Chains A and B, each alone.
Chain A
Amino acid sequence: MSRLKNNYENSRFHRFEAWMAGDTDILKGKLEIRRPEEPEEQEIELDETKINAAVYDMVHNRELRAFRILYRLASVILCLTLIAVLLWTVVYLPKFGEPDNPINNEVSARYIEKGVEETGATNFVTGMILDYRAFDTFGESCVLFIAATCVQVLLRLDDSGSREKQKKKRAEENDRIYEPKNDLILQKVSCVLVPLLFIFGIYIILNGHLSPGGGFSGGAVIGSGLILYLNAFGFKKTERFFTDRTFRRITLAALTFYCLAKSYSFFTGANHLESGIPLGTPGAILSSGLILPLNICVGLVVACTMYAFYTLFRKGGM
């Protein structure tokens, strides 16, 4: 529970250290140094409303105005029609929860009756998404991965590049001085909550095959714990253990493991070979074959992606 000290540079110890290292500038504060004034670049002010008015000439352009009104009216009508049609369809759909509905067929019967025996997971849902239909879940993890990639494309500001980009980056980073810092109440509360959140998230992930939960929900809990910690203690603290590079490595490792493990499983399954992965006793923590490690992978990807989204929206980088 260490607070971030802002005035470390003025502390006695630091000055002593600097003197020892010979960093103390003798002339500091004794010479008047005046920087040559940079000519201020004039930014062209863009008034959106004026430009729009000039381009579209809304006052005189009757045709365009009529078109806009018609366009809005048409879109409202379209939405209402779609809603009406969908509601009307609901009336004809099978009633919810009836025993002889089409969805109560041999598919769900086998998931329920033989699920434990075939996947080793006492939680049917986990058995279904990570064993029966694991290919879809791999696709979903890749959706998260590609979404994170797109956010990076859009929001990551990199060091290299032209001077203009550097300037843009500095301008964006200026936003960060308005971030709240060292809020005592938040820090105290998160000291209590963050460990609990982490432990609870890990519990959800590790027990994904035994009780409700799994990689997606547990990862979301861990991710929110990270975000809370970040809000309370600031980026300097989190950057010590979580940077852009950590994110990339964890995601790469988790997705690679998922990809290779499931490829092995798909390959053996399709070729009717024995996979040789023991299912263990249903109900034990180390059971259900690949499901536990896969849940851990999914959890890591989800936690990292959530945290990455949050940090990227701060503008700049992780």
Chain B
Amino acid sequence: MDFIRNFPFFSIILAMFCGILSSVLKGKQARNLCLFMVTTVMLLSGAVLWYTTKAGSFIYMMGHFPAPWGNEIRAGVLEALTAVFFAVILFLSLLGGMKHIFFDVEETKTNLFFILVDLLMSSLLALIYTNDLFTAYVFVEINTIAACGLIMIKQDGHGIVAAIRYMVMSLLGSGMFLISLSMLYDITGQLLMEPAGEAVASLVSSGQYRVPLLVVIALMSVGLAIKSGLYPFHSWIPETYGYATPAASAILSSLVSKGYIFLLIKIFYRVLGYQAMVQTGITNVLFGFGLIGMIMGSVKAIQETDTRKMIAYSSVAQIGYIYMGIGLGTRAGMVAAVFHIFTHAATKSLLFISAVGLYEVSGGKSDYLSLRGSGYRNRTAGLAFAVGSLSMVGFPMLAGFISKLLFATAAVQSPAKMFFTILGLALSTTLNAIYFLRLVISIYSPAEREYGEEVSFLASRKLKAASFLFIVVNLVLGLFSQPIVDAIGVGLNQFI
């Protein structure tokens, strides 16, 4: 066996071990360890990506016992690509929000923040690589608790209220996921994805246990949809993303919710069977809610004056896009949805991080009137924010354009849903343009009040570097999209 096959396991265990070790370290040491861990995971996952494109997907036994008895993880092109991408986004988010982490979090508790980040990374990696349904549940738990901790670590009233809200909604989702998992075990007797998938396929063809299977599908989709914030279950999003420390907002919006969506896609393909899912009509339900979310999220965002909450509502709309893609029920739709996971992760974290650069020079206020002229006071953040906004609106050369193009192309291939998809895309894009361009115009209009010269010193070098790198990631996704889209296609083929 090639040594490189150990790398997914190494990256999960390294992230966990760094989390455990950080409990006795000081804040700065924990930070360095965390950055080292993320960089290493990035390199390891890059190696796995290189290996899987050559040698195809592989299964890694966690212990001495093979498939239906012991735990397993699995790595293919899509898993490796997602892991690399998540590591990059996590690194840049931490880099951009670093100053605020040390400002928002109590000095003696900064190491706890990095414990949470380390374990969050390990759980995201486990959700990506897992080939076992129960492992997925255990790491969903870790993910939920870590996200809660990241929200409340700022320790002000808003943060705690937001954390409670998040916890209630998220635990409801976890509970549904757990119930559906135990029902699935009851009717298949398997916990590993492949044997469970075979058992489900035979149940579908023989017509046994039709009702429980339907309930399992519904509970699993709804549970993970609540956790990722699909439209009618979005009420926790604005406060959570709006009041957490900036790095945490970026991580939560671009990685945590995407981890659940990735898990859902994996379960759809590997356990429940994608064709069977399309036949049950659950994809139509997801399509409908995704479409409503696209419109309603944008409408809510227009009404919002606080920029961070506005960006958060825009997340609701973008999650809607992803579910719409999944709901199209075709391969092209799924490719578009996965590509949009990457687009949204890259763009949303860019927006959250660069928005911070803009408040810093506007007296800490975040409503969009106070941000007037901030694009001149902090040029890097202003440029980054403009790029992020244009990408969200779908400006050519940027990531958002490609994903909108992919969605539209996918819609043409499924005639029944074409009209609504194209209409939704058009409407949502227009609404996106209204609130994002309003903000971009406002940060580049001359300010009414004067800010002293000294404010320009506040813009930290790390934030500048992170914003710049985020722009690069966005341009890479926008300009060199074809190899990535091909890789996603290859990865989805390997799922079956």
Binding site for B on A (CB under 8 A): 85-86, 88-89, 92-94, 101-108, 110-111, 118, 131-136, 138-140, 142-143, 145-147, 149-150, 152-154, 156, 158-161, 165, 248-249, 251-252, 255-256, 259, 263, 265-272, 275
Contact = CB atoms under 8 A, between A and B. Distances in A.
Contacts of B153: 153
B243 to A, nearest CB: 15
B189 A150 contact: no
A266 B135 CA distance: 15
Interface stretch (B207-215, B260-268, B353-361, B464-472): B207-215
B134 A133 contact: yes
Contact of B20 (A134, A136, A256): A256
B320 to A, nearest CB: 21
Given A102-B187, A136-B71, A140-B138, A252 B65 contact: no
B55 interface: no
B305 interface: no
Contact of A134 (B13, B17, B71, B139): B71
A252 B146 CA distance: 18
B30 to A, nearest CB: 12
Contacts of A263: 13
A107 B189 contact: yes
Given A143-B141, A146-B145, A271-B1, A135 B135 contact: yes
A150 B145 contact: yes
A269 B20 contact: no
B142 A146 contact: yes
A269 B211 CA distance: 39
Nearest to B138: A139
B107 interface: yes
Given A134-B71, A158-B109, A269 B119 contact: no
Given A139-B138, A142-B19, A153 B149 contact: yes
B23 A271 contact: no
13 contacts: A85-B215, A92-B209, A107-B190, A134-B71, A136-B71, A142-B20, A146-B119, A146-B149, A149-B115, A154-B152, A269-B63, A270-B6, A271-B1
B116 A105 contact: no
Contacts of B54: none
Contacts of B152: 150, 153-154
A295 B153 CA distance: 32
A145 B160 CA distance: 21
Given A93-B187, A135-B63, A150-B149, A106 B68 contact: yes
A159 B153 CA distance: 17
B409 to A, nearest CB: 37
B1 A160 contact: no
B1 A149 contact: no
Given A103-B185, A103-B186, A158-B106, A149 B65 contact: no
A136 B149 contact: no
Majority DSSP secondary structure for residues of B touching A: helix
Contact of B64 (A159, A165, A269): A269
Contacts of B401: none
Contacts of A154: 152, 155, 160
A147 B215 CA distance: 31
Contact of A107 (B5, B60, B63, B69): B69
Interface string B89-115: 000000000000000001111001001
Contacts of A248: 23-24
Contacts of B108: 158-161
Nearest to A133: B71
B6 to A, nearest CB: 7
A92 B212 contact: yes
A135 to B, nearest CB: 4
B61 interface: yes
Given A101-B189, A252-B23, A256-B17, 11 more contacts: A85-B215, A92-B212, A103-B186, A106-B68, A133-B134, A136-B134, A153-B153, A252-B24, A256-B20, A270-B1, A270-B5
B6 A160 contact: no
A249 B62 CA distance: 28
B277 to A, nearest CB: 18
B70 interface: yes
Contact of A149 (B9, B17, B112, B187): B112
A252 B20 contact: yes
Given A92-B209, A139-B139, A263-B13, A134 B187 contact: no
A138 B139 CA distance: 10
B21 interface: yes
Interface in B177-214: 179, 183, 185-190, 199, 209-212
A271 B190 CA distance: 24
B16 A259 contact: yes
A252 B186 CA distance: 37
With most chain B CB atoms within 10 A of its CB, the pick from A135, A159, A249 is A135
Contacts of B185: 103
Across chains A and B, which 5 residue pairs bring their CB atoms closest together, nearest first? A139-B138, A269-B64, A158-B108, A135-B71, A102-B189
Contacts of B160: 154
Contacts of A85: 215
B65 A132 contact: yes
A267 to B, nearest CB: 7
B48 interface: no
A102 B188 contact: yes
B439 interface: no
A248 to B, nearest CB: 6
Nearest to B213: A92
Nearest to A114: B69
A266 B9 contact: yes
Contacts of A111: 69
B138 to A, nearest CB: 4
Contacts of B1: 270-272
B13 A259 contact: yes
A81 B298 CA distance: 30
Contacts of A159: 108
B16 A270 contact: no
A77 to B, nearest CB: 14
B142 A134 contact: no
A154 B151 CA distance: 11
A104 B189 CA distance: 7
A160 B107 contact: yes
A251 B209 CA distance: 45
Contacts of A153: 109, 112, 116, 149, 152-153, 155
B126 interface: yes
A153 B187 CA distance: 41
Contacts of B69: 107, 110-111, 132
Given A110-B69, A111-B69, A265 B107 contact: no
Contact of A143 (B23, B61, B142, B211): B142
A269 B62 contact: yes
A110 B115 CA distance: 38
